[in-house]
């Protein structure tokens, strides 16, 4: 028998995790589904939102499925773990995982009485932004508003058949000192979004590649308007 070399594929279940915050306020309240950036986790995003959003909303902070080691900034400190949303290998499968995970969060909470399901807001930072755009523009029935912070558009954005025009409002936030997603690129992306959404608002802050602390007041107004 001649030598053979082939690739075998098999599927196994994968676990997703999300933290849920329900304020002690009468509803119905907006549902904010929040996705962290590359190398971060659900706790980082939840702490930011709980610490800076003053008006009550229900928050689901979803964690990315792909763990990796984050080396310590200072040698000798403990190794930490971060999580990513997509890899360059088999990206199609990662995109499908993202979409099904957001679907599952909405499904899990579908019987929660104090959620206003006409006010579902999807928020993403950095790596998760393009995935959120893919989700909203292909499953536009579910998301009323989208907050995109320092992230890009899908690489196949110009594919007219793939992305519909949802009735969704978008708040697109960029930062002047961001070297990964420069403010100029955020403004250009917003112009590409406008023909396909209900509205697209752009705000640029004097910060680097972070979620600007000054932006939380605007985000809160955007969520509750």
Q: What's the confidence (pLDDT) of residue 164? A: 80
> ∠97-101-105 over CA atoms, to 5°?
175
Instruction: Tell me the mean pLDDT in the region 46-75.
Output: 92
**Which of 35-44, 69-78, 120-129 shows the lowest per-residue confidence on average (mean pLDDT)?**
69-78
pLDDT the model gives residue 12: 86
- Max Cα separation, the chain? 72
- Does residue 63 or residue 112 have the better pLDDT? 63
- The model's confidence at residue 163, banded by pLDDT at 50, 70 and 90, is confident
Is 216 a residue whose pLDDT tops 80?
A: yes
* Residue ranges covered by each domain of the chain: 18-224
The per-residue pLDDT of the chain, averaged, comes to: 93
Mean pLDDT along residues 54-76: 90
Decide if pLDDT at 140 tops 70. no
State the average pLDDT over residues 115-140: 93
What is the bridge-based pairing of β-strands 29-35 and 58-62? Answer: parallel
pLDDT, average across residues 57-70: 94
Write out the CATH class of domain 18-224.
Answer: alpha beta
pLDDT of 1: 78
Give the rounded distance of the alpha carbon of 72 from its chain centre. 25
Percentage above 90 pLDDT, the chain: 74
Those residues whose C-beta lies under 8 Å from the C-beta of residue 121, and which sit 6 or more positions away, are 30, 31, 32, 33, 57, 143, 144, 145, 146, 147, 223
Q: What is the pTM of this model?
A: 0.93
Is it the case that residue 167 has pLDDT exceeding 90?
no
- Tell me which of 160 and 2 has the higher pLDDT: 2
Least confident interval from 24-28, 127-131, 194-198 = 24-28
Rounded Cα–Cα distance for residues 3 and 106 (Å): 50
Q: What is the pLDDT of residue 149?
A: 98
Scored b (16 or more CB within 10 A) or e, 38-74 reads bbbbbebbbebbeeebeebbbbbbbbbbeeeeeeeee
**Confidence (pLDDT) at 143:** 92
């Amino acid at each position: 028998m001649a030598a053979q070399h082939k690739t075998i594929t098999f599927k196994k279940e994968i676990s997703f995790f999300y933290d849920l915050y329900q304020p002690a306020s009468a509803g119905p309240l907006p549902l904010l589904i929040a996705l962290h950036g590359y190398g971060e986790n659900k706790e980082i995003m939840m702490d930011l939102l709980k610490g800076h959003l003053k008006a009550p909303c229900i928050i689901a902070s979803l964690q990315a499925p792909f763990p990796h080691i984050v080396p310590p900034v200072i040698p000798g400190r403990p190794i930490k773990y971060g999580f990513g949303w997509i890899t360059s290998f088999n990206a199609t499968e990662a995109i499908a995982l993202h979409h099904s995970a957001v679907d599952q969060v909405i499904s899990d909470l579908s019987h929660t009485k104090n959620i206003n399901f006409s006010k579902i807001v999807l928020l993403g930072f950095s790596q998760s932004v393009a995935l959120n755009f893919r989700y909203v523009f292909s499953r536009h029935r579910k998301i009323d508003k989208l907050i995109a912070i320092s992230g890009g558009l899908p690489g196949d954005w110009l594919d007219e058949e793939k992305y519909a025009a949802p009735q969704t409002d978008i708040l697109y936030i960029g930062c002047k000192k961001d070297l990964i997603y420069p403010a100029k690129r955020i403004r250009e992306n917003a112009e590409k979004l406008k023909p396909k959404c209900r509205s697209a608002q752009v705000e640029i802050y004097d910060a680097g590649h972070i979620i600007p602390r000054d932006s939380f007041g605007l985000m809160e107004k955007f969520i509750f308007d």
